Structure 1
Amino acid sequence: MTVSKTRMGQTRYTKFMTLPRLQDLPIRSAPRPAKFSLAQKQMALDHYASHGRCISWTLRALGYPGRATLTAWVRVAFPGTKTVSTTAYGPGNYSDAVKQAAVVGLYNRQESAQALAEKFGVSRPTLYAWKTQILGPEAPAMMKRKKSALYPELEELDRQREALQRDIRELQIEHDLLKTASEMIKKELGGDLQGLSNREKTMLIVALKNRYKTPTLLARLGLARSSYFYHRARMKQGDKYLPIRQAMKEAFVSNHRCYGYRRLKAYMTRESILIFEKVVRHLMKQEALIVQQPKRRRYSSYLGEFSPAPENIINREFQAAAPNEKWLTDITEFHIRAGKVYLSPIIDCFDGLVISWTIGTIGTRPDADLVNTMLDAPVETIADSEARPIVHSDRGGHYRWPGWLERIEAAKLIRSMSRKASS
């Protein structure tokens, strides 16, 4: 015990406890056992040597040891190694050409990255390190542009392929639209889808929306979204004219498809179905109830080959070196307000002037007198001359009747006829 005084003059007693003295450790202590066995160490070195000598890849693959420990093992096991890479990628002993080929193979995606790494004898991290080294750290976001920098012809082929695929898709959409329109609407569109009404376009979109996207069909048909949804809602409400449509179809077919909208309106009135005339016309248009009108028969003087036809001497050579060398004739039909009129002229090929003509009165038919009278006048003008022109005509019956043939033979004219359906 010791006695001491404080600054205030007080006496403090301090008591020391006597502690037992510990004995010293032995001079030769036992060493701490190794953390990794020789087998584990050898496995790590083998993996390092067979996988591109990448320390990071070995650490990630095995999970041991630490970076410093593995670096020490490598320096002892491979003393000839000048630089041991401790990063995710190392320079290695590969040429730039090999690295570029590996990066191109990585972007072509023809084989996996692991298979490509094994092919070049490196690890996957080394392969991606080459990619970063050549193309930069932004390579994943700029893959297509970097690829075009390496192989511009590949990108051009890709653009052409994409353009062809778009064209094929557009043609397929148009084909399906036309096919569906012909089956559902039964209209002869002639390849023009814009001639359809908005309701008919909506019917096509509803039929094909499971195969194509609705915006694509709307753009192809030129239909607004609001119009599409409007007509689709109307279609869901049902057709209030459905029984009237059926009655109109039955009346139209039962009357040999010759009822127009006025007669159909009168028929519906007799059946006690009151409907406006405008609605009848609208429903007939929707149901394609069209009355077939007979085609106007064009005039033709051809009556068949009832007599031998002369040779085609003119043979489309409609120029002449002198007057009264070549004459042309034919019959033309005119439609005027009062009726039909027929004209029969003779034209001289030398100057194209009409040297004689006759015209039938209204209501008459083109008979033999029409052409015989026309021929008499020019024959009188050449009676005192030695000119014997060639009279060229078509193969009509007027130029084969006896009266015409007698006049030609008496005037010693030369006949010429074109072949059928030709000048």
Structure 2
Amino acid sequence: MDNEEANVATSKIGSIFAVRFTQWLPGAFLLGCIIMLFTAVYTVFESYPVPLLKYSSIGNQQPIIHNFSNPRSDVYEMIGDIRLNGSSATILMVSNSENNMTPVTVKPYARKADNCAMQNVREWKITAEANVASPRCSQTITTPAVVFSTAGYSGNHFHDFSDTLLPLYLTSRQFNRSVLFLVTNAQDWWISKHYTILDSLSSYNILDIDSQNEVLCFSRVIIGLKADKDLRADHPSPPHYSMLDFAQFLRNVYSLGRESVKDFHGFRLPRMLIISRQHSRRINNEGDVVDMARGVGFDVIAEEMGHNIDSVAHLVNSVDVMVGVHGAGLTNQIFLPKDAVVIQIMPIGLDVLPHFYDFPPKDLKLRYIGYSVSLNESSLFGKYPMDSEVFTNPRAIQEYEEFKSIYLDNQDLNIDVSKFRETILKAKELLEP
């Protein structure tokens, strides 16, 4: 990974909030364990009501626990006398009442229905007990805190934003950087990679909470991150932030110059980015596609999406059209200027997957075009009989590893340039005033 400048903000609450940053990336993304694609639906969630858990008063305070849980994420906000022990993964709300609360367990990662993602996320216990049973505070911290995990599918670009960074924005933006991040399953390389965003949401250094043996006392703690749909922002509880708000936040974070496709200096050709892939779902005739798009009237760049998010963000923000085969690289549409065009090339069989990348453009005020490849454009053509379920009924392949091997890992494309030209012309037409 390219080295990222990380000027660590001065901690206002003591040296325990320092975290060691490294420049190591994970050796590989988690394989074979993304989602059970045919049984879990993450794109159309209806939020649960937001009840208050009953709780007794503490002195002059009225401690409460807000339950913001929904089908995708467990989220509890606690206000009162809160005592947190990182080494035992417990959060205690102190009560003067003898009626203790039934303990609640939480895994603070926003993909709770996905057992594969959640298996390595540390579980925390929330409970309330009488004052006499409460542990003594080692430190009392007045800053609100948010507890979240960097386990799950961290390291995958889509999941980094959909499961952690966007939910973290929705949860913590209300505090205007006066919030402390308590990270469980902390991974230094992940924190270093996304430090620019984390630093823009909190003015304090990050605490690896799992390593803390002390009892830290707070008056307000949120455990878990608010999230409802993949790469979308429509959580029903206030404050309400939209995907446009998130996009503007990212433009400020990375000092991106273009808010709209109309924002460029001087006359130039419309600019197109084709996301190159080298390991799976490659466009084998990418050069032919580039030449065709240039002939239509685009200034074309074909480039892989690197690990340096600052560089990627500036590149994507500079273009008017982004073209990519279904995959995590399309997550970078969040950096596009408004009214830009997203073209998603959908290989054979992948139309049965959740619609990760075609719903966000509407929220981001982008234009979306889907291109479904024909059988003769796929490298699967000729590998299987024409009446095989691989072609006739991809949903019948229930075992995820088999599905992944066929459609995701071992399918490349030879785009029909004449056919695809119609899609490129449509994109150009959408950019016209």
Greater helix content: 1
| TM-score computed with the length of structure 1 as normaliser | 0.18
| TM-score, length basis structure 2 | 0.18
Comparing both chains, which one has the higher relative contact order based on Cα–Cα distances under 8 Å and sequence gaps of 6 or more?
2
Q: Which structure's CA Rg is the greater one? A: 1
Query: Which protein is richer in strand relative to its size?
Result: 2
